[in-house]
Amino acid sequence: MSERQLKLGAILSGVGTTQNGWRHPDLPGYASIDIDWFIDNARKAEAAKFDLVFIVDSPYITPDSAPHFLNRLEPLTLLSAVAGATKRIGLVATLTTSYTEPFNVARQFGSLDLISRGRAGWNVVTTGLEGAAGNYGLEQHIDHSVRYRRAAEHVAVVQGLWDSYEDDAFPRDKQRGVFLDKSKLHALNHRGEFFSVSGPLNISRSRQGQPVIFQAGTSEEGRDLAARIANGIYANEETFEEAQDYYRDIKRRAAAYGRDPNEILIFPGLVPILADTDEQARLREEEVNGQLDLKKALVQLGRPFNYHDFTQYPLDEPFPDLGELGLNGYRGGADRIKRVAKTEGLTLRETAWRFAARRSPFVGSPLTVANEMERWFREGAVDGFNFRVSNPQDFQEFVERVLPILRERGVIRRDYEHETLRGHLGLPIPANRHAAARTAARSSSPNHGHALAPIASGSSLSGDVE
Ligand SMILES: Cc1cc2nc3c(=O)[nH]c(=O)nc-3n(C[C@H](O)[C@H](O)[C@H](O)COP(=O)(O)O)c2cc1C
């Protein structure tokens, strides 16, 4: 087996998810809605042999949302266009399980997987922003723990639907007039807590079997879901120690579910601050943070609390007691803010700066940043990084000055060895469950070697994740 290598994702986030990033002189103000911007950057990432591009998404905004959130392309539509303009790079789209139906989601990702010839991935989120409820006919956001139960069932149903057709279900024999072998088509007939889905799905599997499942969400329930269903995690730990703790926790949970911990890869976000020397990079960090304005920092701080208005509190008193606020939204993020403010004894003003400021553990010369990335990888804190692409200069510097150091050391690949996303990530192709059951039944049958009756269509999912 080839040596384990660091994986790379590129989060394409147009004009950026910070309040000020869009003002960079070389970044087009319409980047978030310009398919050419996405194609151009996906091709750059592909030329640099990234494993995947990654699109975040959420179905709720306010007028104060960060510029990229205000006006952006829907991820699956966007990635279908990128699929046609690239050949190798994986394509991961975020879609919520809280406000979608599994049948639609299975079709959409099944289509992207065929369009891209086996390069699709689904980043499963439960939606942190409570206001989303109002866009789907609900008075209130679905409760945090209910969202996670729903997510587990949703993904199980989607994966069940993706196996509707066995891989050899279509003889397409024009001579005999046989298009489909009906014995290889399976309904789902799922009846669960949240969904009733008969199936079958009207789309077959791709060459990678099924799209790769990613997950983002760091609360207890989020970690548990990831450990059960994910092959990739988009994480956001801030320090090496936090990342290492998180890494160990996830791998331990995955093993407890009977999974191979090597088949769940952890990718924290990466926003390095680069310059020719470490000193210049630190100055650059100070300069960027010096341009922040407090009003926007307070808006940003409010986002994990469903855009809570922090201007109502005195700035120079201890961070306010928010009670349960945030527990039903971005719980993992909200908890962290409350915890840090308390343990570090911060005022509201200090908390706003602390979380609005770009605090990256990757600040320095290309060599310093490459060393640090390698350390995180070798010392069990990450399997990959999700580099945030917005500022064009930063992306170029990273590709041209940091990656060659890592490539030279064998930490990242020189060239693609595979054509699918599963191939890039070293993940096995999941066997079609019906074909696998047929094979298992055949090998345990006393009449081994004789043709068996097809598995009854209508095998049902119990609601558990397989
Ligand atoms: C790093 C990270 C990225 C996330 N990205 C998204 C996203 O793109 N869209 C979304 O609706 N929610 C996103 N979430 C939110 C989670 O899916 C989840 O809805 C919310 O955080 C509450 O879960 P938690 O309490 O487990 O963190 C993200 C969460 C994390 C930690």
Report the chain's C-alpha Rg in angstroms: 23
Nearest residue CA, atom 31 of ligand 1?
Answer: 217
User: What is the SS3 assignment for 91?
Assistant: strand
State the Cα–Cα distance between residues 444 and 130, nearest whole angstrom. Answer: 51
Q: Is 88 in the pocket of ligand 1 (CB under 6 A)?
A: no
Pick the closest to residue 116 from 53, 32, 196 (CA basis): 53
Task: Give distance in angstroms: CA of 410 to centre of ligand 1.
Answer: 32
Does 331 contact ligand 1 (Cβ within 6 A)? yes
Is residue 17 lining ligand 1, measured as CB closer than 6 Å?
A: no
Q: Is the distance from CB of 108 to CB of 97 less than 8 angstroms?
A: no
Residue 359, classified by CB atoms within 10 Å of its CB into exposed (0-12), middle (13-18) or buried (19+), is middle
Q: What is the pLDDT of residue 95?
A: 98
pLDDT at 115: 98
| Separation of alpha carbons 305 and 302, rounded Å | 5
CA triple 3-266-433, angle to 5 deg: 85
Cβ(245)–Cβ(265) below 8 Å: no
Among protein residues, the one whose CA lies closest to atom 12 of ligand 1: 127
Please tell me if the CB atom of residue 57 comes closer than 6 angstroms to any atom of ligand 1: yes
Instruction: Kindly state if the Cβ of 420 falls inside 6 Å of ligand 1.
Output: no
């950057």: which residue's tokens? 41
Which residue bears the tokens 């769940």?
264
From the CB of residue 110, how many other CB atoms can be counted at a distance below 10 Å? 23
Phi then psi for 153, rounded to 5 degrees? -70, -40
Q: How far apart are CA 183 and CA 447, in angstroms?
A: 20
Q: For ligand 1, say whether the CB of 366 is within 6 Å of any of its atoms.
A: no
Please, which residues have CB within 8 angstroms of residue 272's CB and are 6 or more apart in sequence?
Answer: 360, 362, 363, 369, 387, 394, 398, 402
- Which one of 122, 126, 225, 246 would you pick to mutate in the ligand 1 pocket, going by the greatest count of ligand atoms within 8 A of its CB? 126
Question: What pLDDT does residue 238 have?
Answer: 85
DSSP string, 411-456: SS-SS---SSHHHHHTPPPPPPHHHHHHHHHHHHSTTTTSPPPPPP
Alpha carbon distance 259, 107 (integer Å): 27
pLDDT at 199 (0 to 100)? 97
306 Cβ closer than 6 Å to some ligand 1 atom: no
Q: Which pLDDT does position 358 carry in this prediction?
A: 66
CA atoms within 13 A on the CB side of 70: 13
Q: Does the CB atom of residue 218 touch ligand 1 within 6 A? A: yes
Q: Would the CB of 216 count as within 6 Å of ligand 1?
A: yes
Nearest atom in ligand 1 to 57's CA: 8
CA–CA dist 148, 151 (Å, integer): 5
Residue whose CA lies nearest to ligand 1 atom number 10: 127
Asked if residue 128 has its Cβ within 6 Å of ligand 1, the reply is yes
Check residue 447 and give its pLDDT.
60
Ligand 1 lined by 86 (C-beta under 6 Å): no
Neighbouring CB atoms inside 10 A of 97's CB total 26
The protein residue with its alpha carbon nearest to ligand 1, atom 25, reads 331
Distance (Å) from CA 216 to ligand 1 centroid: 5
Dihedral sign, Cα of residue 71, residue 391, residue 95, residue 114: positive
Atom of ligand 1 nearest to the CA of 56: 8
Please work out whether the CB of residue 14 comes within 6 Å of at least one atom of ligand 1. Answer: no
Q: What DSSP letter does each residue of 366-392 carry, written as one string?
A: HHHHHHHHHHHHHTTS-SEEEEEE-SH
> DSSP string of 275-336?
-SSHHHHHHHHHHHHHT--HHHHHHHHHGGGTS--GGGS-TTSBPP--TTTTTTSSHHHHHH
CA-nearest of 69, 47, 52 to 60 is: 69
User: 66 CB less than 6 Å from ligand 1?
Assistant: no
125 CB within 6 A, ligand 1: yes
Q: How far is the CA of 219 from the centre of ligand 1 (A)?
A: 9
With a 6 Å cutoff on the Cβ, whether 56 touches ligand 1 is yes
Question: Phi-psi region for residue 409, left (φ > 0), alpha (ψ -120 to 50) or beta?
Answer: alpha
Cα 301 to averaged position of ligand 1 atoms, centre (Å) = 15
146: left (phi over 0), alpha (psi -120 to 50) or beta: alpha
AA identity, residue 306: N
Q: How far does Cα 324 stand from its chain's mean position?
A: 27
d(CA 247, CA 249): 5
With a 6 Å cutoff on the Cβ, whether 126 touches ligand 1 is: yes
Q: Using the mean position of ligand 1's atoms as its centre, give its distance from the Cα of residue 154 in Å.
A: 16
From first to last of the 466 residues of the chain, give the pLDDT tens digit: 468 999 999 999 999 998 888 999 999 999 999 999 999 999 999 999 999 999 999 999 999 899 999 999 999 999 999 999 999 999 999 999 999 999 999 999 999 999 999 999 999 999 999 999 999 999 999 999 999 999 999 999 999 999 999 999 999 999 999 999 999 999 999 999 999 999 999 999 999 999 999 999 889 999 999 999 999 999 988 899 999 999 999 999 999 999 999 999 999 999 999 999 999 999 998 888 887 888 888 988 998 898 899 999 999 999 999 988 888 888 888 998 999 999 999 999 999 988 877 678 999 999 999 999 999 999 999 999 999 999 999 999 999 999 999 999 999 999 999 999 999 999 999 999 999 999 999 888 766 543 333 333 333 332 222 2
- d(CA 238, CA 122) in angstroms, rounded, equals 24
Other C-beta atoms lying within 10 Å of the C-beta of residue 311: 11
Report pTM.
0.91
Q: Is the CB of 336 under 6 A from ligand 1?
A: no
Any ligand 1 atom below 6 A from CB of 98? no
- Residue 55 in contact with residue 75, Cβ under 8 Å? yes
From the alpha carbon of 269, which atom of ligand 1 is closest? 1
